[in-house]
Structure formats: C-alpha cells, structure tokens
Structure 1
Amino acid sequence: MRMRYFATAAAAAMLLVAPPAAADTVSDWWEFAGRITNATQPPTADQYRAISRTSLAMFEAVNAIDRRYESYLGFPAGDSTASQDAAAATAAFKVLVHHFPTQRTALEDSYAIAMAEIRDERAREAGRLIGEAAAAAAMAAGGIDPAIPQDPYRPRTTPGEWISTPLPQIESFMWAYRPWAIPSAEALRPPPPPALSSAVWARDYEEVRRLGARTSTERTPHQTLMARYRQAFELAPTMRLVADGPGRTPVRNARMFAVYQMAFDDAALAMAAAKFHYNYWRPITAIRNGAADGNEATAPDAGWVPLLATPNFPEYPCGHCTVAAAIGEVMSAETGPIPAKGVRVGSQAVPNSIIQVLPSWERWVQEVSDSRIYGGVHYRFSNEAGEEIGRRAARIVMDRVMQPLPVRRGGGRR
C-alpha cells in the first residue's frame, strides 16, 4: 500500500526515511513461497519450514528498518533509509533458493524483476545487505532438535498377520522440530480419546457413520461439496485482502505472516506428536469392526466406505481442525473475528472453483471441522481436540513473540 501524508510536518519527517515497501512485496513473496512448496511434494525435512523461515526472514529484515516490534531472533536495527522492498525480497529469495535449489532459475528471475523496480541504488543496496543478514539468521532458527528421537514407524500387528503396507504420510521429523513458542509438542497434548464404552464414542461413531459414508442419504449436497472443497484450503485471497487494507504497513504485514506461520507450525507439531502417541483408529477401521468395540450402541457395517480417501496416518486429533483453529485465532486478533469483507477461502483440492466468502473466522473453522465428518475421516471429539490445540498454540505464539515496542515520548520506538 502507499503511505498517506496527512500533515506537512509528518511529510517532512518522512523525507528523512526511504519510502516504505508496497505492502504487496511481503505478501507476494509469502504467496510465492507457498506455490513453490506446494509444487515440491512431499517436502523434505529441510523444506518443511521453508515458508515459515521465509516469513520470519522478511519480518526481521523489514523490522530492522522500521523498528516497530521486538525481534524474534535478536536481530539488530539497521539503516532506517534502506529500501524495505529490497530487504524483504532479498530475505525471501535467499531463504527460498537455499531450500529449493532446483528452483534457482525461477527464483533468480523473480528476484531480478523485484530489485529492478527499486530505482534508488543506495537504498536498494542497503536493503539487500539487511535482507541477506536476516535470511542467514532465519535459516539458523526453527530446525530439527537432535535430542528428539525420530524412530521409524512400525505398524502394529500380530506376527505373521498381513496388514496394509504403505507407511504413514506424516514423517517422524514432523514432530522433531524445535517449537517457535510453545514449551514442547507434549505440552499441548490432548487428553486420550473417549473410552469405547462411552456415550461420546457411540454418539460420534454414529454421526460419522451416517454422514460420512460414500453412499450417505443424510448428507446434503452442500455438505458433500464442502467435504471435497475443504480438503486443501487456500487462504491467500483473504491474506492478500488483509495485507492491502487501509493503514497496513510492510512491517505489520510481515509480522502477520510470521505469526501465522509460527502458530501453524507449533500447532501442527503438537498435533503430529499426539497422533502417533495415541495411534487411534480411523472411522473406516472402527465402523467395519464395530461389533468388536464392546459398545452395543455402535452399529457395525462391514462394507462401510467414507466419502473421501482416508489419510494414511492416525486419526486423533484432527489435523485440518488443528491448523484451521490456529489460523482463525491469529487472524481474528489481526482483523477482528468478523472481517469487514469476510473470510475469502479458495480450494487447492478444487482449484477451478470460485472463492467462497464466509462471515467470520469462527464460521470458517467450524466448517473445516464439520467437513472432516462429512468426508468420513474424523470423529467430532477428534475435531474438538484439534481445535483446542490450535487455539492454545496460537495464543502462546501471539503472547510471546514479536510484541509491539513501546512508543517513546515525541515519537519513535525504544
């Protein structure tokens, strides 16, 4: 966005500082990082946090020039006349080319285009140096903790008995990262799933059996659409809208993206660790074996098939619900729970579909959770446990990192 000058005195003061980056610079590179990561599937352990490090590097670079928040990395303040565009683009470029060396040509071309638009050579060079230093600092953070065991997954079975052989799609490294803000993955572990003899188990089993079956006659056409649409949600339309909103600044946007990614990572860390701690059965397994759970209220269906393909890793807690709740918590704090222009959500699973507009972040989180039941892959209690993890992780991140610096008398930050 462009800075508005409301008073002659303010305008005169701003002449001493290089023009701020267009707010689009940060969101452009965040979105670009997402596209590169999504095109490189599955990501390696080195690539898994590439978007987060990109976001963190851009924040540290821009915040060094326009000092508004506490540095997460202890990164020093820099030249206030440096180009924020150059700093943000350089920080992102350096992180991405490190994590995705096979994309070097595309990244170099994009970086050259971005830098060519910055006409002030002195400000551009100063920004480049800050961006390079910020990228180096960010790439040294948030890595794998060597103290956390990464034992290969061993399927549980009776010796000599066949079971399905594909290994889980969640790798052991995914719960071995150092958290950004939460104390540990175990600190957010949910309580165990309900007992198989409980009324909660019977209730939620029956809900997914009725609504999540491929041939369900109780699921509405809209619920079927949402189950498919929400398999891989795309929030770039909303994030772009927020970043370009009135009064936004580059450093505020950079902080937003960094906090978003950190909350996502810490929530996902706790969720992945919990999944493999409990190793809980999916609806397709439970419903086909409903006669063996000891609960007379669960009706078995030996041929039951879910609407969606069941993800190949343990069920509890729900992963989609976890990260959606974390994002919803962060963005509710950023925009208010009911954004003026709604929550605009796309779908990577249905890429040619129109953008959906929802009235609130809470409504979006709830629809993500419900969609996993309609798809036949999660129970209600698992969704609720995931949402609680996501909200707790987000609140910890928001309370502990990148806090606004106090304003000195006469202006400026301490």
Structure 2
Amino acid sequence: MNPKRVATLHARPLKKVSQFIIQKGVLLLISAIFLVISCAKDDDVEPIDNALLIASKKSTKSHSADMVLTWNKAMQDLYTFPRGVGTPPISSAYTWTLVHLAMHDALNSITPRYETYARVAVDKDADPDAAVAQAAYDVILTINKIPFAPAFVPQNLTSIHSLLETSLNAIPDGDAKTKGIALGHAVAQALMAKRASDLPHLFLISPNTPPDGTQPGEFRYIFLPPAPGGKGFAFPDFGKLQPFFMSKDDMYIPGPPYAVNSPEYASDFNEAKTYGAINSQVRTADQTEIGVFWSENSNRSWNFVARQVMESYNPQSQNAWKAARYFAVVHGAIMDAYISTTISKIQYYTWRPESAIHLADSDGNDLTVADPIWKPLLPTPPIPEYPSVLSFSGAAVGQFVFRHFGDRDNYVINQTSGFVPGVVRSFSSISDAVKENSLSSIYSGFHFRQGIEIGEVLGKSYGDYVFENALKEKN
C-alpha cells in the first residue's frame, strides 16, 4: 500500500514547519558546556551470583513495562509540537539515548538480564519502577543544567517534574522504594560520568570553520544570518564522540560520492533541482507534505514507529527489561548514525544541492545548468551533504525493529509528525516508512539521491549490527 495522507487540519503545514526549522537553525548557533559529574567506580560493582541470576530472571518476565513505556511516552511528548520546537535533531538524539540507556541500566542493575552500558553495584532488592523513573528523571535534569540547554532539552519541564512525583507516589513506601530511588540516582550518575569525555565535542556551531570549499563539489556555507559573518558549521565535532554501540567510529564510512563531472551526478543534480525547489512545478502536494513531514526530530518520529510495532503485539509478551533494551537500542542506533555520518560528511565535504545549483556553471559538467536564485523547500542544514543521516537513522531503526520482532515487515503504521499537527501518514510496512523517510530529503531540497540511497544501505547494515551486538542478553 502506498503511503497516503489521512487527515489534515486547517491549512497546509508548509508555512508552519518552515518557521519551526528556522527556529531550530537559530539555536544551532549557541555553544554548550557539558556538566561533568562523578562516577561510581567499576571496582565497586558487586559480583553476581549465577544461581541468583537464573532465579531472578524468571521473576522479571512478568514485571510490567508500564513505567518504561510511560517515560518513553513522556520523551515523545516532550519533543512534539509545540514543546519540541528548537531542539535540533542531532543534539536531542544525545538526550534521548542517555535517558533510555538510564532506564535500561537501572533495571539491569537489579536483575542483570542484559549487558549494561555503565556499571553500578547491583541491588536485587530495589524497586524496578522507582529505579527507572528516578534514573530517567535525573538524566533529563542533568542535561538540562547545561548552559543553553534548549538545544538538548525543551525548557518547559513541568510535565517531567509532575511525572516523577506521580511515578513515585504510585509505589508503596518502604525499603524497596527507597533503594530503587537510590539506585536510579547512582545509575544516572554513572552513565553521565561515562560520557564525561564528550565535553569538548558538544558545542553546537563553529563559525567559518572548517573553511568554505574552493573546488567544484566542495561544501559551501549557506548564509545563516544569526551566525558570525552569516556562516556557521553545525555540530562539527560530533564525529569525535565515542560511539554508543559501534565498535569503532569509522565502521560505516561509505565510498566516495559521484564525481561532479559525471552523468550520474548530473542525473541526481537535476532531480534535486526539479523536485527540491521551494517553487517546484513538478513536486506534487503529497510530495511536498512528505518533504515537510519527515524533517522533524528523528528520535521522535522513529520512536513513534517503534512503539506502534511493539504495541501491535500482545502486551503480555513484553516486560520492563525487554522494553527498556528495545528503546535503548533504537535511540543509541540513531545517535551512532549522527556520529558516523558526521565523520563521513567532514571527510567528503560535499556541497548541498543549494550550493551545487547556484554554482553549476563551474562544476565542469555540461549536463547541469546553474540557477543562482534557486531555493530549497526548507532551509538547508549547515553541514555537508553526503551521506544522509535521515536515511541512515531511519533504515537502522527499521532494520532493528524488523529483526527484533522476527523478521516481520507487515504492520499498520499510522505515523504523525512532531512538527505538523493533525497530519497522519499511513503505511503497511516498516520498509514503506523507511523509504518515504529517505525520499523526503529530495523533496525538501536537502539531498541528492545517492546520499539517501547510501544512507539506507549503511543504516540497514547497522540495524543488523545492533540487533546482534548491542546490550546482549546474558547467558
């Protein structure tokens, strides 16, 4: 079944979403400092009794995933219009990953069913729900203390404060609850301390560095009025972050893009020029909606898909440990997609369609024609083009979810967008959603076809990798 538009409230969403993307671009100009907190030492971790582990695994099978799903839904709501506006996808991916790893680690520091990301002393008597809620809350609040934190966390956290109170009030007072809260604090502290080396790499914008390219095909800055000199490079050092699940940061570096004087490049150029223009005469209304719809935060959009697939199964087949691991891998994979593609983008340093079309007279290709006033449907992101992180992250999540639920692809998915209230797009499979997500970058004017196709190939491979290697079940 082809994706279709199910409902639109009032006016077409393009004007609103364009405004949202511009607001996000302003926030890319703010530099940030990461709050470093102390760490629980690895040698403080108490040994695990194997007999106890076997017995306790049985008890976790029936523990409800409700608390994990409640905090997961709270994150989804936090990054949905209007609260999510202003948090760039790459920096908010960092928050989503740490919050979900905190919930996963909290549960596995009570009953170690899966490998943890960070390590704290196991407390088998801690209440799982108290530990999950407190760990998630502490991570959100810690990141919220970063100067200029709106790039990482929406600033209205009233709902999060209330949710912690509600979550803990629902748990009977007693030693288990007290220990659960203490464990949540410890897990969040250990997790954030493990990422303390991220500090030098989290700044959001680098004015005029790296420099403008000079050769055909090299990245050119797009004028960004709030930046110094009107030029700013977004998240230049995210590629230096330690990956969450990749064994090394250059695992998924693709081969080079087409040469700008090749016929393959010209074909992609002309497609992007025709379909990605703000005033395109060939892009349909549905394709315009696709371009805007998927331009939002990837974590929110793919979390929505992942939840729908999970909820299509009998709820009794899930438990807190399974759900926490599932969402931790989903969001860690998205963050690793940003790390990996940042490395590739800087290595190949390719221009975006907007620059390519403005400067086509100098590209040495007789099959391309310049248009110095061409504008994309949505404002061009200030970072090189190749490959597409939107395609990489969507394909990675899609493949992981596909593998997680036994290689089944046929699901009814009614997808919403955090930036386009009232619009729903329907799919009959995960792969349909993955494909439309990728194509949206052509319709928005962000990418050439090779960039999105390579992104999908990389993402699918990485989805297989995290399914087989990330947070593995203990024997």
TM-score class, shorter: 0.7 to 0.9
Counterparts in 2 of 1:275-294, with a 5 A limit? 275-294=345-364
TM-fit CA distance, 1:124:
1.8
Partner of 2:240: 176
Amino acid corresponding to residue 231 of structure 2 in structure 1? L
Contact 1:24 1:243 in 2 (8 A): no
* Secondary structure of the structure 1 residue equivalent to 2:426: strand
CA distance in 2, matches of 1:268, 1:295: 31
Tell me if structure 1 keeps the 8 A contact 2:84–2:418: no
Corresponding position: 1:219 with 2:263: no
Alpha-carbon contact 2:222-2:231 (below 8 Å) kept = no
| Matched residue count | 388
How far apart are residue 35 of structure 1 and its match?
4.6
Q: Which amino acid aligns with 1:127?
A: G
Deviation at 1:108, TM superposition (A): 3.4
Where does residue 255 of structure 2 map in the other structure? 191
Q: CA deviation at 1:138?
A: 1.4
Please point out which of 178, 183, 194 is paired with 1:141: 194
- Deviation for aligned residue 1:148: 7.6
Q: Which residue of 2 aligns with 1:335?
A: 405
Other-structure match for 1:409: none
Equivalent AA in structure 1 for residue 169 of structure 2: A
Are 1:392 and 2:445 an aligned pair? no
Structure 1 position 194, deviation (Å) = 0.8
Residues in 2 aligned to 1:21 and 1:86: alpha-carbon distance in whole angstroms: 13
**Percent of aligned pairs with the same amino acid:** 28
- Larger Cα-atom Rg: 1
Q: Which of 205, 219, 222 is equivalent to 2:269? A: 205
Unaligned runs of 5+ in 2: 1-54, 146-154, 215-220, 224-228
Q: How far 1:47 sits from its partner (Å)?
A: 7.1
The higher-RCO structure (CA 8 Å, 6+ apart) is 2
Q: Does 1:71 align with 2:116?
A: yes
Cα gap change, 1:137/1:149 in structure 2, threshold over 3 Å: closer, same or farther? Answer: closer
Q: TM-score, normalised by structure 1?
A: 0.82
- 1:240 aligns to 2:307 (yes or no): yes
| Partner Cα distance (1:339, 1:393) in 2 | 17
Matched letter for residue 143 of structure 2: H
**What is the distance in 1 between the residues matched to 2:65 and 2:233?**
36
Moved more, 213-222 or 18-27: 18-27
Letter in 2 for 1:401: A
The offset of 1:243, in angstroms, is: 4.5
Contact 1:18 1:123 in 2 (8 A): no
Q: Single out whichever of 265-274 and 236-245 deviates more from structure 2.
A: 236-245
TM-score after normalising by structure 2: 0.73
Instruction: Verify the 8 A CA contact 2:325 2:471 in the aligned structure 1.
Output: yes
Cα distance in 2 for partners of 1:103, 1:69 equals 34
One-letter identity of the residue aligned with 1:62 = L
Of 180, 183, 204, the residue aligned with 1:127 is 180
Residue 410 of structure 1 corresponds to none
Take 1:323 and 1:402, find their aligned partners in 2: how far apart are those partners? 18
Name the Cα RMSD after superposition: 3.2
C-alpha separation between the residues in 2 aligned to 1:367 and 1:325?
A: 11
The aligned residue for residue 9 of structure 1 is none
Is 1:156–2:209 an aligned residue pair? Answer: no
Q: Distance in 2 between matches of 1:283 and 1:50?
A: 30
Give the 5 Å matches for 1:365-380.
365-380=434-449
Query: Greater CA deviation, 102-111 or 318-327?
Result: 102-111
Show CA shifts across 1:303-339 (max 9, x none): 3332222222221111211211121122112235545
Q: Cα distance 1:163–1:197, how it changes in 2: closer, same or farther (>3 A)? A: closer
User: Alpha-carbon deviations, 1:151-184, whole Å to 9, x = none?
Assistant: 94243278xxx98343336223422211112233
Residues 300 and 103 of structure 1: CA distance in aligned 2, closer, same or farther (over 3 Å): closer
**More moved, 128-137 vs 377-386:** 128-137
Partner of residue 23, structure 2: none
Is residue 210–residue 233 contact of structure 2 (8 Å, CA) maintained in 1?
no
Kindly provide the amino acid, as one letter, of the partner of residue 383 in structure 1: I
Match of 2:47 in 1: none
Comparing 322-331 with 234-243, greater Cα deviation is found at 234-243
